[in-house]
C-alpha cells in the first residue's frame, strides 16, 4: 500500500455503510447527524492550527492547540467551543493578535491532519475485532478526475461518499489528495466523522476506546454528545463572531 487510493480501489458495494444510514439523523447540525446514534460515548478532536518554520525546506509545521490560543485570547475550551469564537474573545484583549504570536495557519477544515489521523488510527486499532477490515468514505464533491458520476456511493445526509476498504492504518491514505471523511471497522465498534465544513473530527465509540483517544498526547480532545450542535455559531460561552471562523 502506497498511501494513495486509486480509481480501481473504489468499492462497488456500498451496503457496508447501511448501518450508518439506518442510525443517523437527517442533517440538523448536531453530532447525531454526523455519526450513528448507537454509541455510549461521543468525543471531539480539535484540529490543530500550525506554526510554520521559516528556515529549511520543506518548512517545519508545528501544531498549535486551541488551548494555547485560548490561553492568550482569554477564551474557554469546552465541548462546543468554536475556533472563530476563540479569535473573537481575543479581539477585546490586549493580546488580541494571536495569529502573529502563535499560529500561521488556521485549523484544517474538512480533514484531520495526517499526524493526528495516524495517531487516532493507532489508538482505535486496539478497540476493534476487525482491524484488518475497515471502510473509508471520501466525500464525492471534490471534482475527482475519472470517477464514474453514476457509480456507487454511500449516501449520508447531504454528503455522498466514495467507499474504500482496508486495514485501520489505511486511514492515512488519500484519494486524489483528500483523506477520509468517515471511517469505521467492519464490526462497527466505532465510527469517525470529519465533515467537510468543520475544523473538528467527531468519534462515536465505547467508553474504553473513548478514554484511550482522550489520553493520546498528540490529540486535543473534548467531550461531545449526540445532541450538541457542531456549527460555527454553536459556542455558547465565548463571544460569537460575525461570520464563520472570525476575523
Question: What's the mean per-residue pLDDT of the chain?
Answer: 92
In a domain, 116, yes or no: yes
Q: Are 190 and 208 in a shared domain?
A: yes
Going 74 to 90 to 231 to 217, the CA torsion angle's sign is: negative
Q: Which of the given ranges, 44-48, 49-53, 100-104, 147-151, has the highest pLDDT on average?
A: 44-48
3-class DSSP string for 22-38: HCCCCCCCEHHHCCCCC
- Please, are residues 222 and 78 in contact by the beta-carbon 8 Å criterion? yes
Q: Are residues 35 and 57 in the same domain?
A: no
141-161 as b/e, with b when 16 or more CB fall inside 10 Å?
A: eeebeebeeeebbbebeebeb
**213 lies in a domain?**
yes
Instruction: Record the pTM.
Output: 0.94
Q: How far is CA 150 from CA 71, 134, 207, 220, in A?
A: 49, 24, 39, 39
Same structural domain for residues 153 and 74?
no
Range of the domain at 55: 49-101
pLDDT value of position 246: 45
Q: What distance in Å separates the CA atoms of residue 35 and residue 54, rounded to the nearest whole number?
A: 39
Residue 229 forms part of a structural domain: no
65 with 149, same domain: the answer is no
Peptide bond into 58 cis (omega under 30): yes
**Domain tally, the chain:** 2
When mean pLDDT is compared across 5-9, 109-113, 241-245, the lowest value belongs to 241-245
Task: Render pLDDT for 159-214 as a digit per residue (tens, 0 to 9).
Answer: 999 999 999 999 999 999 999 999 999 999 999 999 999 999 999 999 999 999 99
pLDDT digits 0-9 by tens, 119-160: 999 999 999 999 999 999 999 988 688 999 889 999 999 999
Amino acid at each position: 500500500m502506497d498511501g494513495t487510493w486509486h480509481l480501481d480501489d473504489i468499492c462497488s458495494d456500498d451496503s457496508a455503510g447501511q448501518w450508518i444510514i439506518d442510525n443517523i439523523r437527517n442533517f440538523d447540525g448536531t453530532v447525531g447527524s454526523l455519526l450513528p446514534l448507537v454509541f455510549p460515548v461521543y468525543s471531539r478532536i480539535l484540529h490543530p492550527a500550525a506554526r510554520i518554520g521559516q528556515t529549511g525546506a520543506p518548512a517545519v509545521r508545528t501544531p498549535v492547540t486551541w488551548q494555547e490560543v485560548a490561553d492568550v485570547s482569554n477564551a474557554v475550551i469546552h465541548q462546543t467551543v468554536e475556533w472563530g469564537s476563540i479569535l473573537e474573545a481575543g479581539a477585546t484583549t490586549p493580546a488580541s493578535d494571536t495569529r502573529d504570536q502563535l499560529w500561521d495557519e488556521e485549523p484544517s477544515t474538512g480533514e484531520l491532519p495526517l499526524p493526528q489521523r495516524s495517531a487516532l488510527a493507532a489508538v482505535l486499532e486496539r478497540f476493534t475485532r476487525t482491524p484488518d477490515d475497515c471502510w473509508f468514505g471520501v466525500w464525492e464533491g471534490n471534482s475527482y478526475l475519472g470517477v464514474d458520476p453514476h457509480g456507487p456511493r454511500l449516501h449520508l445526509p447531504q454528503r455522498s461518499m466514495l467507499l474504500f476498504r482496508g486495514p485501520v492504518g489505511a486511514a492515512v491514505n488519500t484519494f486524489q489528495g483528500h483523506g477520509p471523511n468517515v471511517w469505521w471497522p467492519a464490526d462497527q465498534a466505532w465510527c469517525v466523522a470529519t465533515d467537510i465544513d468543520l475544523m473538528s473530527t467527531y468519534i462515536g465509540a465505547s467508553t474504553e476506546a473513548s478514554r484511550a483517544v482522550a489520553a493520546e498526547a498528540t490529540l486535543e480532545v473534548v467531550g461531545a454528545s449526540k445532541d450538541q450542535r457542531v456549527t460555527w455559531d454553536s459556542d455558547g460561552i465565548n463571544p460569537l463572531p460575525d461570520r464563520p471562523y472570525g476575523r
